[in-house]
Structure 1
């Protein structure tokens, strides 16, 4: 069985490749990427694969049995790009698709859910057996803000006291590798999230504990937080999106207590303290 990984040079994709390689008797892996030269360090076959260029897709999928479709990074264009991939998979005879969706995509208030719901519907009507991995937020989405928090003396956001069931990219990558290499997942939808929910105040307290500094959490309005992100150099649409998603998180949009992720990977998800420690050491 040959496994194709879209976006294999991305932050999640390369971790999935490493997780697959770590498994004994790993299946052949094909990295489906925009720039094969960037995949050279992965040590696997690489093929040109661009979501927005349908002519590259079906040829690149030749001989692929199982496809991991990692959602496109181009918000607003995902539905069309994912449709291109699914149609190409049908043409190429791909036998199974595993798709990285959003936690509780069927009911999530987070705006990203719209394109994920559309993609899940496309998969359901494609005739190709599929598995949906509804990934929660990466812990790194928040720990990446530790350096500016230390520089400015506070961790800021708009998530209030919302419960965040965070897990690291490595946790989600391991779950994907497990589903790609084992049986019984066709037709399943997994709600994947961290074992233990935290708040941004908890994150700030952990940063304080590990650094020996007082780093409080400052909850801001959506407009205030978006303004700070824009001042930091983020594009306007992305800054506005991040602030809005944080407000959704304040209403527990990123909370889940089903522990399906730790059940899939056979271990507890990575604790917040470990993720903070890794960021501080980076």
Structure 2
């Protein structure tokens, strides 16, 4: 089955492509990227397409039977029509299966909700398309927390508004393995999976980072408003509001979910210390 991966030049798309290459080889794998030269090093055929351009996807999806649709990183209000461009092109080109990388979270109650709500709409659009489908709702990546370690060390603490809330972190590496199965096995068709790990608090995250990196971090909880304003100041209104909403969601329990990862990947999800160790090895 010829499979295409959208946004293949991004970190998740690249990780999934590399996993599929390991499991099934390169011959029937196509990457789709807005800027193809950024993905040439993957070693597979790369086709050009922009999420905003339906005609691009009419061309890029020729001969494709299975499609991994990686959720757009654009403003929430832009995601729905962008994804519809791809879904409609997939229907026109006779794509037989769409696997979509959605996300967990609350679609109504915090600053991250517009992102979640837009993903839920795309889930419905895919289900109504008449094409076989699988929905993966990704947990929060632990990778960005680890990439932020220098700032944590400078602050002497992990500082956010999550409080005692629990978060079922995952990683791009874990998700890559899960999606390789979802793309290649028909048993998953018509199912929605929460692709998350084991729940931990921010205080536990600080301990695990200390154990791995020999740091002396603590966890400091601040108010939702203070953290949101801090993030807006550093990252701008859109991204700051979204990041603030993520940690508000952790505080409210929106990211403490029962995991379906083992059903998808056919093995248990790695523990947080194991994911941190994998990150260290990759970084080194």
- TM score, norm. by length of structure 2: 0.91
Supply the distance in 1 between the matched residues of 2:106 and 2:152 (Cα, whole angstroms): 30
1:80 to partner: Cα distance:
0.9
How big is each residue's C-alpha offset from its partner over 1:46-94, in whole Å with a ceiling of 9 and x where there is no partner?
0011101122111110000000000001032111100111111111111
Which among 131, 142, 145 is matched to residue 145 of structure 2? 142
1:107 to partner: Cα distance:
8.0
Distance 1:185 1:92, change over 3 A: same
CA contact (8 A) 2:228 2:243 kept: yes
Which among 154, 168, 171 is matched to residue 168 of structure 1? 171
Range moving further from structure 2, 142-151 or 86-95: 142-151
Aligned partner of 2:36 in structure 1 is: 36
Stretches of structure 1 that go unaligned for 5 or more consecutive residues are: none
Stretches of structure 2 that go unaligned for 5 or more consecutive residues are: none
Aligned partner of 1:87 in structure 2 is: 88
Helix, strand or coil: the match of 2:199? coil
Aligned partner of 1:228 in structure 2 is: 230
RMSD (Å) for aligned C-alpha atoms: 2.0
Helix, strand or coil: the match of 1:202? helix
1:267 to partner: Cα distance:
2.6
Aligned partner of 2:208 in structure 1 is: 206
Greater percentage in helix: 2
Supply the distance in 2 between the matched residues of 1:4 and 1:55 (Cα, whole angstroms): 16
1:207 to partner: Cα distance:
2.0
Supply the distance in 2 between the matched residues of 1:227 and 1:83 (Cα, whole angstroms): 33
**Pairing 1:157–2:138 present:** no
Aligned partner of 1:126 in structure 2 is: 129
Supply the distance in 2 between the matched residues of 1:154 and 1:263 (Cα, whole angstroms): 36
Aligned residues: 279
Distance 1:199 1:80, change over 3 A: same
Range moving further from structure 2, 31-40 or 61-70: 31-40
